[in-house]
Chain A
Amino acid sequence: YTTTMTATAPSPSPAKRRQPRSRQQRHRHCHRQPPRILLLLFVFSLLLSTHAQQSQSNPAEFNGGSILAMAGRNSIAIATDSRFGLGFQTVSANTNTAASPTKRLFLPPDTHSTMVAWTGLLGDGTTFSEELSALLANKARRAGGMAFPNDRDDDDDDGRGTRRNREMSPGAVATIASHLLYRRRSAPYYVETVVAGLEDVRVPIVWMEEEEEEKGQGKEERKAESSKTIYGDIEGEMTNARATSITGSDRVSHRELPMQSLLRTATTSPGTPPRQRHRHRHRQTRTIRKPYLCTTDMLGARSTSDSFVCSGVASRSLHGTAEALWRPELEGEELVEVCGKAFVSALERDCLSGYGAVVYLIRAVGEEGDVEIWEYVLDCRND
Chain B
Amino acid sequence: MDTVFGVSYKGGVVIATDQVNARSILMYQQNLDKIAELSSHSAMGVSGPNCDLVNFSEYISKNLALYELSNDGMKLSTHAQANFCRGELAKALRKGPFQVNVILGGYDENVPNGGSLYIMDYLGSCHKVNYGAQGYASNFTLSIMDRDWEEGMNEEQAVKIVEHCIRELNMRFLLNQSNFIIKVVDKDGVRTVKADSDPSDN
Contact = CB atoms under 8 A, between A and B. Distances in A.
Contacts of A92: 119, 127, 129
Contacts of B115: none
B119 A91 contact: yes
B132 A126 contact: no
Nearest to A63: B125
Interface in A107-163: 121-124, 126-127
Given A126-B124, A127-B124, A91 B89 contact: no
Contacts of A59: 123
A121 B123 contact: yes
A233 B16 CA distance: 64
Contacts, number: 56
Contact of A102 (B93, B123, B127, B139): B127
B138 interface: yes
Interface string A49-63: 000000000010011
A100 B125 contact: no
B161 interface: no
A102 B126 contact: yes
Interface in B136-162: 138-139, 142
A292 interface: no
Contacts of B127: 84, 91-92, 95, 100, 102, 122
27 contacts: A62-B123, A89-B142, A91-B119, A91-B127, A91-B129, A92-B119, A92-B129, A99-B128, A100-B127, A100-B128, A101-B83, A101-B128, A102-B125, A102-B127, A102-B128, A121-B125, A123-B86, A123-B89, A123-B121, A123-B125, A123-B126, A124-B123, A124-B124, A126-B86, A126-B125, A127-B90, A127-B124
B5 to A, nearest CB: 12
A123 B93 contact: yes
A378 interface: no
Contact of B124 (A86, A89, A95, A123): A123
Contacts of B23: none
A187 interface: yes
Interface string B18-59: 000000000000000000000000000000000000000000
A115 to B, nearest CB: 21
Given A91-B127, A95-B127, 6 more contacts: A102-B128, A122-B127, A123-B89, A123-B90, A124-B123, A126-B124
B79 interface: yes
A84 B120 CA distance: 12
B172 interface: no
A100 B83 CA distance: 13
A296 B108 CA distance: 39
Contacts of A187: 94
Contact of A126 (B94, B119, B126, B139): B126
Interface in B77-135: 79, 83, 86-87, 89-90, 93-94, 119, 121, 123-129, 132
A308 to B, nearest CB: 28
A281 to B, nearest CB: 61
A101 B124 contact: no
A34 B79 CA distance: 60
A313 to B, nearest CB: 15
A207 to B, nearest CB: 57
Question: Which of A99, A101, A127 is packed against the most chain B CB atoms within 10 Å?
Answer: A101
A62 B87 CA distance: 20
Contacts of B119: 91-92
B125 A84 contact: yes
